[in-house]
Amino acid sequence: MLRLARIWRLVLAASLLTQPLPAQAAASMSPLVLYLDGDFSKNEAASASIELGIRTALAEVDYRIGGMEVAVQRMDHRGNVRRSHRHFQNMVESETALALFGGMASPPYLTHQAFINENRLLVLLTWAAAGPITRPGPDRENWIFRLSVDDTKSGPFLANAAADQPACQKISLLLLDTGWGHASRPALEKALVARGKDAGLVLFLPSNLGEAGAGMLADTLAKAAADCIIMLASAKTGALMVNAVHKRLPKVRIFSHWGIMGGGFVDRVPHDIRTAHHLAVLQTCGLRQERQGNPHLRRALSLALPEAEGLADVPAPTGFVHGYDMTRLMIAAADQAARTPQWSGDIKDKRLALHGALERLEQTVPGILKSYASPFSPYTEDQPDAHEALNGSDLCLARFTDNGQLEDLR
């Protein structure tokens, strides 16, 4: 796996090489700006991967979309919803911010979904799984598009994966004590019921969980004699829980949402423990695409990280894959929007044009995960997945290799 610092250098180099020169910039209109609202402080790997994906896709078009230059502006929300809100407010004020890429956390977008939609801020989510984010409810505009795992799909996917295992008779749920965790619970339970299983025990993980707290939760699980666990956790809390569970229930199978991929998980959980628990991690099927020799993946990867031997060399590869694919969709939509009169309007018009183009993308856009044909459509209650670029069939399970990389779980 490439070191994170090195990725940063690459991202920086790529951005410098592909950015228009100042002379060129002066000759054209002010460049459009793409905000990247991510946690560059506490989950640096995920945000950096997303940025790498975005910049790789933009590099492919020389940072020009819809005939205009575009720049990426990093906005570090540091996991703080309020800070994201500031970014949204900045965007409202901005004359150039065309869209905001968001990732590696659902709360900012869940909390400020209304604000986003009311102010018609175009938000492209590459790493946020909470189901309601792209489903604002009746009679509301929907300005949030997602190319990421959708928990309305991931829940049933994980539940089915567990239910498929004969060893899983008592399946317990370990969910983050956040809006995301609580929102995921019904879908998980419903899916388990559909498979004739009960969620034996549902436990919530506090965001400031420590070893003692993890131990207590693990004791509770041990008392309930759980044989399989479906876990929605961050990298830190997930690592604490897996280690704690290992001491009490050394053979329990663990099916984890991809939240643990935020960074640092493999450093905290040794490989033998990961293996002992048959630890399976929800992923979109990038690894499978790589295994199947997807040429777009190879090209993008070679552009982004020429030294990388495979997707596994990218830390938090999900971010790269989703960022890349989402940016490609945006570029296609911008090109489509550029043909509308609105594109020549102010930034709000441009956002509106781009929003319309995304919902009615005419061309099929090939990406790493798949080729996207009309990935989005106008949202109605009848079309809850209208702003979802991926669906259940795009989900896969992966496992860790002994060197901490993910590999497709065939």
Of 42 and 350, the one with the shorter C-beta distance to other proteins is 42
Shortest distance, position 44 Cβ to other proteins, whole Å:
11
> Could you give phi then psi for residue 362, rounded to 5 degrees?
-90, -40
Of 257 and 277, the one with the shorter C-beta distance to other proteins is 257
CA dist 34 → 155, 306, 366 (Å): 31, 25, 22
Residue 82: both structure tokens together: 């309020």
Of 82 and 120, the one with the shorter C-beta distance to other proteins is 82
List, in sequence order, every beta strand (DSSP E) within 213-370: 228-232, 253-256, 280-284, 365-366
Q: How far apart are alpha carbons 81 and 7 in whole angstroms? A: 26
Q: Tokens 């997707």, residue?
A: 311
**Site residues (CB under 8 A) for other proteins?**
41-42, 78-86, 107-108, 111, 178-179, 206-208
Shortest distance, position 182 Cβ to other proteins, whole Å:
11
Shortest distance, position 81 Cβ to other proteins, whole Å:
3
Which residues contact residue 271 at a Cβ distance below 8 angstroms, ignoring those fewer than 6 apart? 400, 402, 404
Which residue in 53, 109, 118 sits closest to 85, CA to CA? 109
| Cα angle 348, 367, 107; round to 5 | 55
Shortest distance, position 242 Cβ to other proteins, whole Å:
19
Of 41 and 169, the one with the shorter C-beta distance to other proteins is 41
Of 78 and 120, the one with the shorter C-beta distance to other proteins is 78
Q: How far apart are alpha carbons 147 and 327 in whole angstroms? A: 10
Residue 263: both structure tokens together: 């960074």
Shortest distance, position 80 Cβ to other proteins, whole Å:
5
Q: How far apart are alpha carbons 92 and 87 in whole angstroms? A: 9
Shortest distance, position 48 Cβ to other proteins, whole Å:
17
Residue 178: both structure tokens together: 């956040």
> Could you give phi then psi for residue 331, rounded to 5 degrees?
-60, -45
Shortest distance, position 84 Cβ to other proteins, whole Å:
8
Residue 111: both structure tokens together: 């909390």
Of 9 and 82, the one with the shorter C-beta distance to other proteins is 82
Of 84 and 327, the one with the shorter C-beta distance to other proteins is 84
